[in-house]
Structure 1
Amino acid sequence: MSALKFCANISWLFTELPEFSQRAQAAARAGFQAVEAAWLYDSDPGELRSVAERTGLEVALINTPPGDLKNGDLGLGAVPGREQDFRQGLDQAVQYAKILNCKRIHLMAGRVPTGTARPAIAVEMEATFVQNLKYAADILAKEGIIGLIEPINTRITDPRYFLDSPHQAAAILQKVDRPNIKLQMDVYHWQIMDGNLTQNLQKYFPLIGHVQVAQVPDRHEPDSPGEVNFLYLFNLLEKLGYQGYVGCEYKPAGSTEAGLGWVRKYWEGKK
């Protein structure tokens, strides 16, 4: 069994430092092989690329632009009537990914429109998402990039997010039927929405293109008090032969550096 590869999400970790490039340098000093981030679109991707080249870091994942956050957007992939905005955002994400040599883009689904009941629009939103994902698959295939869809829990984090369970995501991926569109497993969201992590991980493992971790319910370090036994889960990922990155998308309980004991212990155990 090969050891897992961990990736620092610099939208969440090392936020003691203001710039993404500074956070990436801190991640490299801490021993990470890669970084990921949500939205880099207000920063110069060239600076982060320079840091990555100097340190040997890989930029493992970025998200498509969220849309208009102030007006309630959080991705546009499944939002009817916003197809052109989704395509423009996808183009921007691809340009950033090419600069950063990033091979994974999270294609954000978005929220159920305000004032609309989920059951009334769910079929239309799914059809929109499938259409947009097929379009994205063709664009990304030309660049050798994997597209990812991520269920986000609607019980705590975002009640209006459209894609909220691994089962819903798997059904959509079946309809999209493109080898370069895969499932992003965020353990935090999966545990809150469905639990049953062992069975779900085994069932959907062939679809998984990226994993993210945070303890439940407080979204702190994996070794903080909570519901999930990450030693067991990491061992299961190893046994299944997971070769991708495990993204550290959690809120440090204190400073980022002070909370890295769990990953250093893992690294030491694999030497």
Structure 2
Amino acid sequence: MSHNINRRKAVKNISLSLGAIGLTGTITASSLGEKEDNRIRNQIDLKGNINHAACRWCYQDIPLQEFAEKGKDIGLKAIDLLKPEEWQTVQSLGLECSLATDTFASITDGFNNPKYHEKLQKQYLELISKASYKGIKQVIVFSGNRNGISEEMGLEQSAKGLDILVKHAEKNNVTLVMELLNSKVDHKDYQCDHTPWGISLVDKIRSNNFKLLYDIYHMQIMEGDIIATINKYNKYIGHYHTGGVPGRNEIGNKQELNYPAIMKAIVKTGFKGYIAQEFIPTYPDKLAALKEGIAICDV
């Protein structure tokens, strides 16, 4: 509001100084307002029930500054999976980093294997501190691949490896979220590939600062029964990702998931976190695909 008032005041002062309030003021206001008018035309009339986000890696060919600016115009409140050097870019535009990561984060070499604990703990302790300092509330972690590790041993080792990090996260008002990924198509041998395994890990750790990232695309491939799972386990979930099945592309009517129904189920649980679009756009205009995805999920 103050921005608009200051802009109008500036326009008026320019007009008065030139002694031509009518014509000069009209032209100046039109010029200054053109960018805002374009922004308004790009916006979606959102209902306010969903905190929309998008994963940065799906739009890597668009410079981050441009992606953040245009993403904000079409309804994004946050961007997922940003590294520390990227946080300020989005925050300066009034967006959040909804899920922090860094280059060391590994899907394959994770907390289920004790040989990675010392290195990961050192790196994640620093990342959690950085995220807390910048007001970022969530950091992503991964179980790692099985590589012969049993389900029970994977749970035990993951809980041990994460213990010091969860305690640090508690002190710093940060939540660690472990992503559920499919091991059939995209991430062969990944251990946290079923919701019950993830639930068991959350129960073992027993902290409000450790939750699951429920990726709808991945869990449709592994389990299906998406809405029933969300209804049953929503208190364990701190974050959601989308994606079309099959193919991980746009979430419109050419794939098998009913995203409006899924979003309504999530809203009904009282979820107040972020839901991030994580499909790989196939449209020539990738931002148009993102705008469509936001509109589909805005229930």
TM-score if structure 1 supplies the norm length? 0.84
Change over 3 Å in CA distance of 1:91–1:65 after alignment to 2: farther
- Which residue in 1 is equivalent to 2:209? 180
Letter paired with 1:15: Q
Using the TM superposition, give the Cα deviation of residue 51 of structure 1 relative to its aligned residue in structure 2, in angstroms: 3.6
- Which residue in 2 is equivalent to 1:256? 286
Letter paired with 2:122: Q
Equivalent residue runs for 1:210-249 within 5 Å: 210-249=239-278
Structure (1 or 2) with the greater helix fraction: 2
- Looking at structure 2, the residues matched to 98 and 21 of structure 1 have their Cα atoms a distance apart, in angstroms, of 22
- Looking at structure 1, the residues matched to 286 and 129 of structure 2 have their Cα atoms a distance apart, in angstroms, of 30
Change over 3 Å in CA distance of 1:195–1:51 after alignment to 2: closer
- Looking at structure 1, the residues matched to 132 and 54 of structure 2 have their Cα atoms a distance apart, in angstroms, of 20
**Which residue among 160, 165, 181 is the counterpart of 1:136?**
165
Number of aligned residue pairs: 252
**Which residue among 66, 70, 76 is the counterpart of 1:32?**
76
Equivalent residue runs for 1:196-211 within 5 Å: 196-211=225-240
Using the TM superposition, give the Cα deviation of residue 100 of structure 1 relative to its aligned residue in structure 2, in angstroms: 3.9
- Looking at structure 2, the residues matched to 216 and 50 of structure 1 have their Cα atoms a distance apart, in angstroms, of 32
Using the TM superposition, give the Cα deviation of residue 111 of structure 1 relative to its aligned residue in structure 2, in angstroms: 1.5
Structure 2: segments with no counterpart, 5+ residues: 1-46
Deviations 1:67-121 (A, max 9, x none): 5x7xxx63422222111011022123224423542100111111223xxx35xx4
Query: Percent of counterpart pairs with the same letter?
Result: 19
User: Is residue 191 from structure 1 mapped to residue 237 from structure 2 by the alignment?
Assistant: no
- Looking at structure 2, the residues matched to 107 and 201 of structure 1 have their Cα atoms a distance apart, in angstroms, of 21
**Which residue among 71, 87, 91 is the counterpart of 2:125?**
91
What secondary structure, in the 3-state scheme, does the structure 1 residue paired with 2:254 have? Answer: coil
Letter paired with 1:58: E
Letter paired with 2:94: G
Query: 1 or 2 for the larger relative contact order (CA 8 Å, sep ≥6)?
Result: 1
Structure 1: segments with no counterpart, 5+ residues: none
Letter paired with 1:181: F
- Alpha-carbon contact 2:252-2:296 (below 8 Å) kept: no
What secondary structure, in the 3-state scheme, does the structure 1 residue paired with 2:131 have? Answer: helix
| CA radius of gyration, larger in | 2
- Alpha-carbon contact 1:213-1:247 (below 8 Å) kept: yes
- Looking at structure 1, the residues matched to 112 and 181 of structure 2 have their Cα atoms a distance apart, in angstroms, of 14
- Which residue in 2 is equivalent to 1:149? 178
Deviations 1:224-261 (A, max 9, x none): 51110001111111222221110111101123212134
- Which residue in 1 is equivalent to 2:14? none
What secondary structure, in the 3-state scheme, does the structure 2 residue paired with 1:126 have? Answer: helix
- Looking at structure 1, the residues matched to 179 and 126 of structure 2 have their Cα atoms a distance apart, in angstroms, of 19
Letter paired with 1:249: E
Deviations 1:144-197 (A, max 9, x none): 001111111111011121111111100111111111111111001111110011
- Which residue in 2 is equivalent to 1:56? 94
TM-score if structure 2 supplies the norm length? 0.77
Change over 3 Å in CA distance of 1:23–1:99 after alignment to 2: farther
- Looking at structure 1, the residues matched to 127 and 186 of structure 2 have their Cα atoms a distance apart, in angstroms, of 24
Using the TM superposition, give the Cα deviation of residue 122 of structure 1 relative to its aligned residue in structure 2, in angstroms: 3.5
